[in-house]
Amino acid sequence: MLFQETADYYNRLEGISSRLEMIDVLTELFKKTKKNEIRNTIYMTTGLLAPPFAGVDIGIAEKLAEEAIATATGSEKQKVEESFKKTGDLGKTAEQFIANTKLRRMSKEKFEINEVFETLHKIATTSGEGSKDAKIKMLANLLAASSPLEARYIVRFALGQLRLGAGDATILEALSKAETGERTFKARLEEAYNICSDLGLVGETLMKEGTKGVEDFRVTLFNPIRPALAERLPTAEEILERMHGKAAVESKYDGLRAQVHVDKKNKKVEIFSRRLERLTEMFPEIVNAALKEINAQSAIIEGEAIAYDEATKQFHPFQETIQRKRKHGVEEKSQELPLHLFAFDILYLNGESYLKKRYEERRKTLERIVKGDGTIRFSDMIIATKPKEMERYFEEMVEDGLEGIVAKDLDAPYIAGARKFSWIKMKRSYKGELSDTVDLVIVGYYVGKGIRAEFGFGGLLAAVYNEKTDMYETITRIGTGFSEENMKMFKKTLEKIKSGKKPARVSSIVEPDYWVEPKYVVTVRADEITKSPMHTAGRHAEGEEEVGYALRFPRIVSNGIREDKSADEATTTKEIIEMFKQQRKTKVGEEA
């Protein structure tokens, strides 16, 4: 397929404000794409060169792209910079300069999508001495042989700013429709995606092997499994009722969730975050421990990596643990702030998937194959059959400085990539506030007035994620809790992903000064959840057409963006509705 055709589809997607229309356009695109192109087409459409865990980042800076545009069109770099200041979009600038260049197009032959993808991949993986000049030359050659529209999307992609708004669920739905004519096979595609975390591989398998190939998908070592997620309930009684009177209750650690893949035969270990990013080089002590302390030929175990003081038996705060997520000075920091992995699950052992096995069996297996007294420990756990047992344990954990507890259904399988009541968290509450924080997706921002106008930032428009519709529904505007440093950081970060129109997957009545691509997550605390005609979170739930949910007195908890969570891992609409119901129960109880 010619990249020009792909660019035409991208142009159509840009003008769409409906998710259903987006699915239809993507379905058309996937139907036209050849079997040997579908994988790269999916990666490109989602703004990637490979699945997240592969760690391939194109890494083109704006200045480098400006030089490439100038070289490709025989223009002065200063003129490219001036145009960029006016458009605010280097892709649009590239389009204009390619359209107006007097240089003859380098080649009359048009690019196939695989050729464009492979060139961009080569640019991303070129390193070492002279790599900057080599990158500029490759990108300039690509642009010089492109049409204006192709240039727009090549530059945007190279900068990591493609911004088509197609989420994972939307891609899977379009793939289902393209292959089967219906959207219903999306559920099975999602199951395959949840155990391989590679949308391109899922699409390629579907197009090459049909639905049977997708149904035969298996867990593979070094392809991270999308993590299981916990629901939330406020009381031990409700948790035990959900779990039929008996539950495993684990400590909830405030660390970095880590999935550890081990291949003893080849002496290979890989560690992945909850966002499926590769963390292996950052945690050398866990890599060494995995080879020494796990008694298995191959395994995938899951746990929480956290800084722990062996002498005082105290856990360090999350702010200190997150410092270990770095690319430089790793050895020094690992000596200064060593991590322990508190393992809580096993997902794969010696070639066999453990996802469908009962939690009780998985935990026993984990305790059998891991020593448990070194760098890798077991998460603390009790079996509770009475609310008072769970409450006592909860209080002990909070007293020890932990977040709370996670109760697990002893009979439940591991449900990859989904939030179910087989895991339920209960976290410490704060007087006069919601019993838990919420993680919200930034969908817009405000310029601000008065002193804030100096920073070009006045606050955020934030949303929750609706899993059923694959949409982001607004729930609050956040205007408090920002330091000057915060305001500068948010302005700089959000300016790069701002949009002239509302993204197709955002549902909002409120209009911010600037819309942004739903990409970044922030943690927010509020006094309570209220009903609101201004916001769309839960607006159409339970027959309530005109009223949504909102947060009262919201404020940012930490100093910035949550790097360990993707937009689709934000608090869900369903969770907000449940929290609202529990809040009302609590109030009735207080009044009584």
User: Which amino acid does the sequence have at 286?
Assistant: I
Rounded CA gap, 116 and 134, in Å? Answer: 16
For residue 123, the tally of other CB atoms under 10 A from its CB is 23
Of the candidates 521, 519, 520, the residue with the CA atom closest to the CA atom of residue 438 = 521
Rounded CA gap, 390 and 124, in Å? Answer: 51
Q: Determine the number of helices (DSSP H) and then strands (DSSP E) in the chain.
A: 20, 22
DSSP letter (8 states) at residue 498: E
Rounded CA gap, 523 and 541, in Å? Answer: 24
What is the DSSP code string of 113-151? HHHHHHHHHHHHH--STTHHHHHHHHHHHHHHTS-HHHH
Rounded CA gap, 447 and 461, in Å? Answer: 11
What is the DSSP code string of 506-557? EE-SS--SEEE-S--EEEEE-SEEEEESS--TTTTGGG--S-EEEEES-EE-
User: Which position among 92, 177, 252, 519 bears the catalytic label?
Assistant: 252
- C-alpha distances in Å from residue 476, one per residue of 299, 465, 473, 575: 43, 13, 10, 15
DSSP letter (8 states) at residue 17: -
Is-catalytic flag, 519?
A: no
Cβ-in-10-Å burial (0-12, 13-18, 19+) of 441 comes to buried
Paired strand residues for 425? 232, 406
Helix, strand or coil for residue 45?
helix
Strand pairing class (555-556; 548-552): unpaired
Paired strand residues for 592? none
Helix, strand or coil for residue 223?
coil
Of the candidates 587, 569, 470, 571, the residue with the CA atom closest to the CA atom of residue 530 = 587
CB of 254 within 8 A of CB of 335? no
Q: Which residues are catalytic?
A: 252
